[in-house]
Amino acid sequence: MSFPKIVILSLIFVSFQPAWAFPSYLQTGYASPSIAMSDARLSAEDPALNAMVDSFKLYYSFFNDCDYQQGYQLPRHGINRKTAIEYLSAGFETELATAIVDEYTWIMPELDCLAIKPGDGLPIINEEDLSHLTCSRINDSKIVFSREFTGCYSPHDRYIYQVEMRLYEDQWKISALSLDQQ
């Protein structure tokens, strides 16, 4: 596990909404099926784009498909650290999946299982965001999608959220996330 990724996850995403809720400022209207991009070969049917959206659905389901016991939110897709990492690794590079699990969950010894920490989580890109994405194809196995958010916390604030996708053995996965205030 890499120290910088955990620091980035804990510092960058601390001001966003709970991991188990779609933040209201991420629920934008779907304007058009077109995608702004720097690479004309990318389309709404692009495997990397679809894999990114599916990876965020996976993330969302991890934090929302839960049971509640003794006041704790217990993820159905990860009763322990290992199974949680395996579940998220279907859409996230393993080191990033590990950092997510370590940052947003904890072991509850009295219940002998993993629980979700109350607090903020990662911004989620979903189908409604597609018309707001830009894309840079770095090479055949690396693409960076970007989404600009404005007016999140004040009328004139501006954030750029970047999602790096890499091809791992014929499967696109999220390999890095960054959020920068402009």
Is the predicted pLDDT of residue 121 greater than 80, yes or no?
yes
Which DSSP string do the residues of 11-70 spell out, in sequence order?
A: HHSTTSPBTTS--GGG------S----S-TT--TT-HHHHHHHHHHHHHHHHHHSEEEET
**pLDDT band, very low/low/confident/very high, at 26 (cuts 50, 70, 90):** very low
So what's the pLDDT on residue 153? 86
Question: Does residue 94 fall inside a structural domain?
Answer: yes
Establish if 11 belongs to a structural domain.
Answer: no
Torsions phi, psi for 104 (to 5 deg): -110, 5
Helix (H, G, I), strand (E, B) or coil at 155: coil
Tell me the one-letter amino acid at 11: L
The span from the CA of 174 to the CA of 123, in Å, is: 13
Residue 16 lies in a domain: no
Strand bridging mode 105-108 / 113-116: antiparallel
Catalogue the E-assigned strands of 70-157: 72-75, 105-108, 113-116, 133-139, 142-150
CATH code at position 112: 3.10.450
CB neighbour list of residue 105: distance below 8 Å, 6 or more residues apart: 75, 78, 81, 84, 114, 115, 116, 117
On whether residue 36 sits in a domain, the answer given is no
Domain count of the fold of the chain? 1
In a domain, 115, yes or no: yes
Q: Does residue 58 lie within any of the structural domains?
A: yes
pLDDT at 44: 66
Residue 80 domain boundaries: 43-181
CB of 66 within 8 A of CB of 116? yes
26 domain-assigned: no
Q: What percent of the chain has pLDDT over 70?
A: 76
CA distance 38 to 82: 38
122 assigned to some structural domain = yes
Say whether 149 sits in a helix, a strand or coil. Answer: strand
pLDDT confidence band for 133 (50 / 70 / 90)? very high
Coil, helix or strand at residue 5: helix
